[in-house]
Structure 1
Amino acid sequence: MPELSLVERRIVLELKNEGVSVTSLAELAIDGTTEMVIAGTEISRALSTLAKRPDHFSGRKAVSADIASTASYRAIFNWGLNLSLLRIVEGYLDLPPAYDGPKVAYTPADGRQAGTRLWHRDREDRRMLKAAIYLTDVPESGGPLQCLKSQIFDGPIDREFSYPVLSHEELEQKLKRKIAEEDITSCTGPAGTIVFMDTARLFHRGKPAVSVDRRAIFHSYFSRNPRHPFFCERSDLSRGELEQFAAGMSPIQRDAVLWRNYLPSLARIVPASVT
């Protein structure tokens, strides 16, 4: 890949030092950003409407499949494959990047502490990156992405592969120390903020939103030979659809989408996770 730009180099350095870097869509200046934001806003509004239905949990998977077939989803998916982003991922991992696709998320301001609003580490790979794009302003009370500072916990890469989901009190018990406000990086910001975070290395969560709903897009990346391929493939696209999406892309982008082709032959027969 070409050399990193000054902005990309700064992001990679911050990631290597702290595991997290916060910037903006304006600073990255990636082609297709306007189309991606419009598409994400359209889809997240549809999800917010869905969330108001009493049966929304049972219907979410089908709706995701419908969304994945739209031009809006394609705009979001393609944005995540911009060479600037792939350079950042490769610069951080020091390995060729794999792209696991985007997830558009709507988080209601209901104060609930459940799922990804609890402290956890992702389990796809030894190290990985999530790029979270805020589609709305995200104040402290609006569900910002948070992580424990690396000085408090910097996840082992090759030793412990334990992935508990913890309340704040349970996290303190695990680490055998109190977790103060200054021990946490809280990634607040206006719409257009983008947070790069190693979600395998750092304990993180979406802080429960209490005042305003949050809409965001999460792009996921890891190496082409991830530690746990079974827990990857969280895209809303089937493997056949991914093949179609990758057609016509540059070799670097195509290899990032079709990363399973780089797995050892035995690992390729493992089915995708259903969670």
Structure 2
Amino acid sequence: NGFPMCRKLIANYRSHPAILECFSALFYKNNLKPKGPKKITHSLIDWDVLPNKRNFPCFFHAIIAQDSYFPESGSLCNKSEADAIAHLIEKLHVFANQKGRGGLEMSDIGVIAPFRMQVILIRKVLRKVGMRDVRVGSVDDFQGKEAKVIFISTVISKDRPALKKMEDTANGIGIFSNPKRFNVAISRAKALMVVVGNPFILARKSWWKNILTYCISKKAYSGVDGRGEPNNEFLDIVQGSVLNLGGGETVDESMERASLYYSRERRWRIMA
């Protein structure tokens, strides 16, 4: 008919269906179909840390902690997130290498962070506990690559005018303002993806709000005071903020209420 033929590639040979659904819905109109080998994509569905153990190897691990900002470079780091990721990786490695399981090498694990200072910090933390073979890098470092397991450290725990200006520039801050880089970050994992971050900050970022909504709706949420319970007070605050169920409460008000809750409960710890 004189028009060039166009073939849409919809088969995905990399990711578990739960992970695939994250980016297929956001960027591919839900057209992608999972075709990856189940021996790999389903190899970690029974990890005992997973909040949703019904074939759902994807979750959001909430941490509300102070980040450190370096104005001279515009970079940030978050020690609590780095420690949490190291702790989760250690637990995952022990689990996956039990007798009778398929095993998991440290090189099978990747950690993505949007700021170079966080990349450096996570590498230091992992090396200190003997996990130097875990691959840690920025989104650009993982472009065109994949890993059996991906952890994403989102770092930011405080909105700053300087960061807002960076987000408004042409390149923005990687996974926060560039849809292509965000897509890269959430589409690298084969068998397990864990996002670590502050849910109230991420609720302000449209794509991340979608990820939060997805994880909460699937009961795939854990972290400080998560306790795996869908109706505890803290998770109600998160749901009210992220899912707009808080009776008109703003994100700032939700975050303040969460902080008051923490002060009262004294539960400043990682519950993984």
TM-score (norm 2): 0.29
TM-score (norm 1): 0.29
Higher relative contact order (CA 8 A, sep 6+): 1
